[in-house]
Amino acid sequence: MKKIILFFLVVFAFSIEKLHPSKIIKFSYYISKITFNNQYIIAGLENGKIEIKNFKSLNLISTINLPKIHDFMGDLIPMPIYSLDILDNKLLILAQGENASRILYIYDLNQNKLSKIFQTPKTLMKAKFIDKNHIIFGYLSDEIALFEISSKKWIYDNQIGEYVFSTFALNPSKTLIALGDESGNVKIADTKTGKKIKEIIGVNKDKTIALSFTKHLILNASVDKKIGIYNLNGNTKLTLESKFIPYAAAISPNEKTFAYEYDDKNNIMIKNMNNQNLYLLTGHTMTLSDMKFLNNKTLISFSPAEIIIWRLK
């Protein structure tokens, strides 16, 4: 009986359908950050440039050349890009300035105009539009802050955790933010008030490296190779241990499937919420940086070497 069960397990394991890239998108240098909408796909590069392409044709539209800064030895180096986000025709750029300061730029994609909004010594690590007039930030010190563009004022600046910030994710309506740090726990806060409303303590016991936030679920992937999927009450829907550190992971919009970096060959596994393997995506040449479902059948993922669009069956 055991041999029969083992036989079917082996057959099932080898029956996973392998999918290859639908599109592979290259840029002129290693990719640091990306953002996109229906019109643009934009990459911040490790040489301090930002390249803007048409999402359909993949033709290069324009390039933003950020100024160089001095390192601690006094040598000029490319400006590190911490975060990119796009809302309508506005591109949000959070980068490092002189003396480890942070600079926030907004680039008008219609007018090809780069505007410096502020420069601050605050250790801002990630930024996202909440709406046309508000930007939410995550600090290295586990704080979140809301900035109003029109008045150039900070609405709040709240301590959410007690560790070192890792990343955050917004729910689809951008009313809630999930914050991950070195504890492995996930803190949920209201984006309008900055008030923490929940802390999810689950299977993740080390630094969070990937978060995905859908309408009802949060996926937390951590350095200890644990992946936990939780509802907003903190109840566990699914847990698993990955073969490899899951540097990137995402839940589909309909919350029926999820994807994560599967192994040291840079493959991506697609599973359903019963933890059953569906597809193995092969094609990345370097360790992944991030991924996101565009819709229930389309996944976009990127590494420093390339951006890949996958079409699921």
| Residue in the block written with tokens 């949060």 | 218
More confident residue, 10 or 274: 274
pLDDT digits (tens, 9 = 90+) for 39-80: 999 999 999 999 999 999 999 999 999 999 999 888 999 999
Residue 48 CA to residue 5 CA, distance in Å, equals: 54
Strand duo 60-65 + 277-281: pairing = unpaired
Residue 40 CA to residue 307 CA, distance in Å, equals: 13
Rounded to an integer, the average pLDDT of 24-40 is 97
pLDDT digits (tens, 9 = 90+) for 151-162: 999 999 999 999
Residue 223 CA to residue 303 CA, distance in Å, equals: 18
Neighbour-count burial for 118-157, b at 16+ CB within 10 Å, e otherwise: eeeebbbbbbbbbeeebbbbbbebbbbbbbebeeeeeeee
Tokens of 110: 């219609």
Band of pLDDT at residue 19, cut at 50, 70 and 90:
very high
Tell me the three state secondary structure of residue 155: strand
Residue 51 CA to residue 41 CA, distance in Å, equals: 9
Tell me the three state secondary structure of residue 9: helix
So what's the pLDDT on residue 16? Answer: 87
Residue 156 CA to residue 19 CA, distance in Å, equals: 45
So what's the pLDDT on residue 153? Answer: 97
Number of other residues whose CB lies within 10 A of the CB of residue 280 = 16
- Paired with 280 in beta bridges are 18, 269
Band of pLDDT at residue 13, cut at 50, 70 and 90:
very low
Band of pLDDT at residue 12, cut at 50, 70 and 90:
very low
* Chain-centroid distance, C-alpha 113: 26
